[in-house]
Amino acid sequence: MLYLIGLGLSHESDITVRGLEIVKKCSRVYLEAYTSILMAADISSLESFYGRPVILADRELVETGSDVILKNAKEEEDVAFLVVGDPFGATTHTDLVIRARELEIPVEVIHNASVMNAVGACGLQLYQFGQTISLVFFTDSWKPDSFYNKIMENRKIGLHTLILLDIKVKEQSIENMARGRLIYEPPRYMDIATACKQLIEIEELRGEQAYTENTPCVAVSRLGSPTQKFKAGTLKELSEYDSGEPLHTLVMLGRQVHDLELEYLYQFVDNKEKFKKDVEQDQEFFKPPPYVPPEENFSD
């Protein structure tokens, strides 16, 4: 049997009771360690919490060595594959399930919280979110902006946008890659200021006002960890915000901001009146035309 087990967001003890019971009985335990990180735990604290060894699964192992992970899982052995958040947060894990099914290995999933639902803690209602986008680190020559149209689509219909920020773990520099040297760069996690600057840069390039530097956003830092922090402000304001340790996520507000949402966000702003004004002003973008009653016919 293959168990895909979500670890939640931060602590060792964010695993579910059922998940922990399964980890303890599996013969091999893998930890997927390149699409996200647990903020208040590492592999050795997990090993001591579980009372058993944990094997780090990097991108190579998961994407090309899945048969190693799945070895003997059809009948003889139970294998646990641990994923930060929920197992269906990344396409990679869907691949692993499809491969297991091809090999007729039964699969069970133990769900957990992920940023996709826990972001509700910022006070914005989950059912008001549109499609989720990802923002990668720009380089001098590579500034992919396909997210821009998606933000535009969301905001045209009034919805909030969850913006996932780039994580670079175990990446090689181009030079080391070219020379075949297995030397890895230190991990990098995009912070809020970088994300906001990149968003403003693309708006300046495209100029279609999918958003402006005055569009209100919520910075979500270390969600679910003991040092979790929210900060609401405009893109411009947050481009100068020191968001501290990773991980971070950004939410861009849509036009449909309910009173209850706004009330909740006030606790995260510097200036309540200014923020309220910023929200009202931003609601002018993509505003549907006012209702015009059908003209009555007095012609006769």
Q: Which of these, 62, 68, 104, lies nearest to 83 by C-alpha position?
A: 62
State the Cα–Cα distance between residues 195 and 248, nearest whole angstrom. Answer: 10
For a copy of itself, the binding residue among 98, 103, 177, 183 (CB under 8 A) is 98
The 3-state secondary structure of 63-87 reads HHCHHHHCCCCCCCCCEEEEECECH
**Ranges within 215-244 binding a copy of itself (CB under 8 A):** 224
To the nearest whole angstrom, how small is the minimum distance from the Cβ of residue 158 to a copy of itself? 9
What's the CA dihedral at 267, 219, 159, 119 to 10 degrees? Answer: -80
- Do 269 and 276 form a contact (C-beta atoms < 8 A)? no
To the nearest whole angstrom, how small is the minimum distance from the Cβ of residue 150 to a copy of itself? 8
248 is in an annotated binding site: yes
Residue 98, burial from CB neighbour count under 10 angstroms (0-12, 13-18, 19+): exposed
Structure tokens at 272: 């309540």
For a copy of itself, the binding residue among 32, 78, 86, 282 (CB under 8 A) is 86
**Count of residues binding a copy of itself (CB under 8 A)?**
51
For a copy of itself, the binding residue among 17, 174, 178, 182 (CB under 8 A) is 17
* Number of Cα atoms under 13 Å in the Cβ half of residue 226: 5
89 is in an annotated binding site: yes
State the Cα–Cα distance between residues 152 and 121, nearest whole angstrom. Answer: 24
Among the residue ranges 68-76, 86-94, 171-179, 234-242, the one whose residues contact a copy of itself (CB under 8 A): 86-94
Does the footprint of a copy of itself cover residue 283 (CB under 8 A)? no
Does the footprint of a copy of itself cover residue 109 (CB under 8 A)? yes
Does the footprint of a copy of itself cover residue 129 (CB under 8 A)? yes
Does the footprint of a copy of itself cover residue 123 (CB under 8 A)? yes
| Bridge partners, 219 (sequence order) | 231, 250
- Do 260 and 45 form a contact (C-beta atoms < 8 A)? no
Does the footprint of a copy of itself cover residue 50 (CB under 8 A)? no
- Please give the annotated binding residues for S-adenosyl-L-methionine, written as ranges: 9, 86, 89, 114-115, 165, 223, 248
Which residues of the chain form contacts with a copy of itself (CB under 8 A)? 6, 8-9, 11-18, 20-21, 86, 88-89, 91, 94-95, 97-98, 101, 109, 111-114, 116-118, 120-121, 123, 125-134, 153, 157, 159, 224, 260, 263-264, 267
